Amino acid sequence: MTRIRKAVFPVAGLGTRFLPATKTIPKEMLPVVDRPVIQHVVEEARAAGIEHFIFVTGRGKGAIEDHFDDAYELNAVLEQRGRKEDLLRLKSETPKPGQTSFTRQQEPLGLGHAVWCARELVGNEPFAVLLPDMLHDDATPCLATMIADHAHHGGNVIAAYSVPKEETHRYGILDLAGAAEGTPKIHGMVEKPKQGTAPSNFAISGRYILSPEIFKILETQHRGAGNEIQLTDAMVTLMQSQPFYAHLFRGRVHDTGHQLGFLTANIAYALKRDDISQALRTALKDLL
């Protein structure tokens, strides 16, 4: 079984829900406590053994590339001021030379198109896709468990989590034929089904392990929902020739692409910090 070495991060989105904050700052660089959202996701991938981080960017996303580069001037200032702990932390969180690649999605044609833009960097091997908006909060990194599932089952693996039935129309929903435990086989998937028609309440949570055959399908994929090239549509086509399995994520998923999810993620991650959790609890009680 080919080891999963590469991960694709689609970061070309405009982040219009967070205007005017995202007028000059990429939404992926908005902080959850003291780390940008994208860094939390990259750290999940690194903890799962990913060696090559591929970012599909767009105009105005240069800050992401700079963030994952060495900041010589900042390092020098920290060294001069004796801030050794901060310096060591920054260096440990910076990918090594050659571990990052950046490619452009010139037009906002959807998630499927963004993944297709990474085809030459991925090559002919299975790979992971991590949506930077979705933070997966659990003791074991979500992608690490998915990679273990892939090593056992092969095929393709999609992470999913349980959402309220009345909200299924907001997500891509998996058809698991009633299964709700283990790593069930996926029988189908529907992008934002009409209310009352969803085959389950398990929503795709923004983590995928896909075989490289998906690129050939995306190359000729017609536009779907939102007049965009949908990754879900391409996966449905690939499902006709390859098996798909669901990793049912039991931790908490924070959708930081929405204001409420972003604020909730900040509180949840801060409450796990020994240095500020108690003070935050006191502040929250005062506010409430």
Q: How many domains does the chain have?
A: 1
Residue 1 lies in a domain: no
- 243 within some domain: yes
CA separation for the pair 244, 232 (Å, rounded): 12
Does 39 reside within a domain? yes
State how far the Cα of 26 lies from the Cα of 64, in Å rounded to an integer.
Answer: 8
Residue 59 sits in a domain whose CATH number is 3.90.550.10
What is the reported pLDDT for 1? 66
The residue ranges of DSSP E strands in the chain, in sequence order, are: 6-10, 31-32, 35-36, 52-57, 100-104, 127-130, 134-137, 156-162, 172-175, 188-191, 202-210, 244-248, 252-255
CA–CA separation, 100 and 156 (whole Å): 24
Domain membership flag for residue 115:
yes
What is the per-residue pLDDT across 129-177, written as a single tens digit (0 to 9) for each?
Answer: 999 999 999 988 999 999 999 999 999 999 999 999 888 988 889 999 8
With a cut of 50, list the residues of the chain below it in pLDDT.
none
pLDDT at 107: 85
Structural domain range at position 46: 6-287
Task: Give the per-residue pLDDT at 104.
Answer: 94
pLDDT mean across residues, the chain: 92
Q: Tell me whether residue 202 is in a domain.
A: yes
Instruction: Select from 1, 89, 10 the least CA-distant residue to 56.
Output: 10
With respect to residue 157, please indicate whether it lies within any of the assigned structural domains. Answer: yes
- The answer to whether residue 211 is domain-embedded is yes
Q: What was the pLDDT predicted at 161?
A: 94
In a domain, 86, yes or no: yes
